[in-house]
Chain A
């Protein structure tokens, strides 16, 4: 008798409506996507702990670093344990992280917030990010791009929901929207969010199912699907994948695409005000909101189109057109607001699309056998880009400012660096070829796992 958390306990019957599954995947991604809205806590926390922006900023940085590490080291466990157990574990880490951070707020111990939200919550982020992705791909073998787009769209959407909800909760508990009032409502807001996330992730874990071994989508012919040129017919293990050229080429592709996106995201509000000096702070905040929508929409739309165009072609578009858009901003971005907005929105939609298309790209390259674990290891590129992107952009801007440049000129050098990075990513993507058969896992080892997948 399998434990209710085990993979064997959640095998769906042969006749099952697969459209019930995306909501379960979205549920956990919408919850953990809150991390992108962490900035709403910055000023209240700075007031609460009487500290500066850098000290509070480290909470987010630790969480993202732990996301990459947990995804890389926990991927194999997630793959082995199945989606329900990994969702429950991820949700527990995420919620306990909030509770420990609340304790830190109550006792004025900032280190407890680093430990809670940063370290413990960050582990929940990493496991939660990859936990539903490979399951969704197994439910949608005919449209893996749509499947990963649906799940990872939630991570972008999480911030859209958490940002106004957190502000609303802080105002409600603090009795108003002044800085001191938001600060006063901080602790209750963390507790409330922990409760909401516990319930939603638990519902997701209840609903999630893995497909029956004999199930396949109506009218879908696996042999026909596997005949596409860039799709492998075999399966590669996570350990073997690390020894392939394809894994590292995709690592470079993801790193370049994410770094380029961060180049815009990191400084979106000051950037638009430096390019157009008549833009008000409220309008700049509106621009940030617009980019968030582009990020979320890109995750779903571009990943879905990759089912038709092919993953490699999609990345050609992300990196090639992204490069052209960066050039447009560098050469004529300050001339026209509409051109600036469209170019930045396209870049950010490609940034989001890059995240959601990569699991399907990995499935094409390495098969579905341990794609979750391989995805987890590839996400170290995200962690590296999270460090490199802001470092490049901020140090170039500082150097330009020190040299006496102002306005749009502050950004020109960093924009050209991003053009170079995207060119490197474009070439890396061009070099991606199907994986050599020598890396394939023997069919009997794959079959061993099949009854539970």
Chain B
């Protein structure tokens, strides 16, 4: 196991070295960012939906 992990580290380092030392080595470019931002928006919207709906229900405690 240690060999494979060491190799993967070396592979990563080589890939980075080839790209100037701080490569965006793996798939973290534009499409990745688009998916990440899209997911963040889904999460925020879902939380807002849940909070608002529950808040409206909770207000019944004070309104009747």
Contacts and interface: CB of A to CB of B under 8 A. Distances in A.
Interface of A: 2, 8-16, 20, 23-24, 26-27, 30, 154, 157, 160-161, 163-165, 200, 203-204, 206-207, 209, 212-213, 279-280, 282-287, 289-290, 292-293, 341, 448-449, 451-452
Given A12-B28, A289-B57, A451-B8, A203 B50 contact: no
Interface in B1-51: 1-2, 4-6, 8-9, 12, 16, 22-26, 28, 32-33, 35-40, 42-43, 46-47, 49-51
Contact of A13 (B28, B37, B38, B46): B28
A280 B61 CA distance: 8
27 contacts: A11-B26, A13-B22, A13-B26, A15-B22, A20-B37, A23-B40, A23-B43, A26-B47, A30-B46, A30-B47, A154-B43, A161-B46, A163-B54, A164-B53, A165-B49, A200-B39, A207-B39, A213-B9, A283-B64, A284-B61, A289-B61, A290-B58, A290-B61, A293-B51, A449-B5, A451-B9, A452-B9
Given A20-B40, A23-B40, A448-B1, A289 B28 contact: no
A292 B54 contact: yes
B58 A27 contact: no
B61 A283 contact: yes
Most buried by B among A289, A448, A452: A289
A286 B60 contact: yes
B35 A451 contact: no
B43 A27 contact: yes
Given A12-B26, A286-B61, A293-B55, A204 B39 contact: yes
Contacts of A164: 49-50, 53-54
Helix, strand, loop or mixed for chain B's interface? helix
B43 A30 contact: yes
Nearest to B48: A161
Contacts of A161: 46-47, 49-50
Given A204-B39, A207-B32, A448 B5 contact: yes
Contacts of B53: 160, 163-164
A207 B28 CA distance: 9
Nearest to A293: B54
B58 A289 contact: yes
Given A203-B42, A289-B55, 15 more contacts: A13-B24, A20-B40, A154-B43, A160-B51, A161-B46, A161-B47, A161-B49, A165-B49, A203-B39, A204-B39, A206-B35, A280-B64, A282-B64, A448-B1, A449-B5
A23 B35 CA distance: 11
A48 B56 CA distance: 30
Nearest to A26: B43
A212 B12 contact: yes
Interface residues of B, number: 41
A268 to B, nearest CB: 11
A173 B62 CA distance: 32
A449 B1 CA distance: 9
B2 A157 contact: no
Given A15-B22, A213-B9, A23 B47 contact: no
Contacts of B46: 30, 157, 161
Contacts of B57: 285-286, 289
B2 A448 contact: yes
A24 B40 CA distance: 8
A12 B36 CA distance: 13
A206 to B, nearest CB: 6
A452 B8 contact: yes
Contacts of B35: 203, 206-207
A45 B17 CA distance: 59
Nearest to B41: A23
Most buried by A among B24, B46, B59: B46
Given A27-B42, A157-B50, A11 B5 contact: no
A209 B28 contact: yes
Contacts of A23: 36, 39-40, 43
Given A30-B43, A452-B5, A14 B22 contact: yes
Contacts of A212: 12
Contact of A24 (B39, B50, B54): B39
A281 to B, nearest CB: 10
